[in-house]
Amino acid sequence: MVINGQNGLSEVQQDEYFQVNALQLVETADGSTTIFNTIIGEHYHSRHGALQESRHVFLNEGLLHFLNDQDKSDLAILEVGLGAGLNFLLSADFCLTHGINLNYVGIEPFPLPSSFVCQTGYVHYISDELWYSFIEKYELSVNNVMSINKFCQLQIAHCYLLAFQSEQRFDIIYFDAFSAIHQPDMWSFESIEHACRFLKPGGLFVTYAITGHLKRSLKKMGFSIEKVPGPPGKREMLRATKN
């Protein structure tokens, strides 16, 4: 989840309000759980299937597509909108299974408490070892690099996208902010350009969305654009390569 901070609350008040009062767990069509934010008025993942969407958009059309073109034993991923960590968990589980070193940074101005993350049921989609290590180190990874296991490091950048800074460059960006209807500032040229400056040449930008503005913005930055079949409930999604 990433929000724009324009609701009149201080950062501390927003943290408390969003964590305690505004979030509801919702079952989606494939039986997996997502979160509904009652203030934003949007779900973290698709109601057509949170698990299906995450696997299709970010794991299959993002991570696996990237690895099909490159033989890599080390991978760096930046996620815009970590939420409850489903995209991270699926990616980390794949990398653990295939012996790939994963360095993962998730930008999240409002990290969820681990007690809430535990209620998502995402434990059922990954190895028990990964899940329990993730839960144990999840809150410690806020603004710290934590080794989740011998193959995976996680850091949650507790900030807004435009405040994020890093010397690191990434192979893949998972862009998983709320939709432009509810959060237009996250899809502005300024925001997309800021995220993409952390991507390596040849790196991949992948998102569930596809709009004319997004395509024009990425083309202006020199990306090659692909329209890819979307997950259940969405005809198309976007994938782009930094030239």
68-102: pLDDT as tens digits: 978 789 999 999 999 999 999 999 999 999 999 99
H or E element at residue 195: helix 189-196
Nearest to 62 by CA among 172, 208, 147, 176: 172
Q: What pLDDT sits at residue 242?
A: 97
Mean pLDDT by 10 residues, the chain (243 residues): 42 50 92 91 94 98 93 94 97 96 96 92 97 97 96 97 97 96 94 98 97 96 97 96 96
Residue pair 85/64 in contact (Cβ under 8 Å)? The answer is no
Instruction: Tell me the helices (H) and strands (E) count for the chain, helix number first.
Output: 8, 11
H or E element at residue 136: helix 128-137
- In angstroms, rounded to a whole number, what is the distance separating the alpha carbons of residues 171 and 65? 12
Q: What strands, in cross-sheet order, belong to the sheet with 146-149? A: 146-149, 152-157, 101-107, 74-80, 170-175, 199-207, 236-242, 223-229
- In angstroms, rounded to a whole number, what is the distance separating the alpha carbons of residues 200 and 194? 13
Q: What pLDDT sits at residue 232?
A: 93
Q: What pLDDT sits at residue 97?
A: 95
Tokens read off for 84: 């409850």
Instruction: With H, G, I as helix, E, B as strand and everything else as coil, classify residue 66.
Output: helix
- In angstroms, rounded to a whole number, what is the distance separating the alpha carbons of residues 62 and 226? 12
- The tens digit of pLDDT for each residue in 133-142 reads 999 999 999 9
191-198 contacts: CB < 8 A, separation 24 or more?
Answer: 191/161, 191/162, 192/217, 192/218, 192/221, 193/217, 193/221, 194/161, 194/162, 194/164, 195/78, 195/80, 195/161, 196/221, 196/223, 196/242, 198/78, 198/164, 198/166, 198/168, 198/169, 198/170, 198/173
List the alpha helices (DSSP H) in 21-113: 50-54, 65-69, 86-98
Q: What pLDDT sits at residue 5?
A: 40
Q: What pLDDT sits at residue 15?
A: 52
User: Domains plus CATH for the chain?
Assistant: 11-242 (3.40.50.150)
- In angstroms, rounded to a whole number, what is the distance separating the alpha carbons of residues 32 and 45? 10
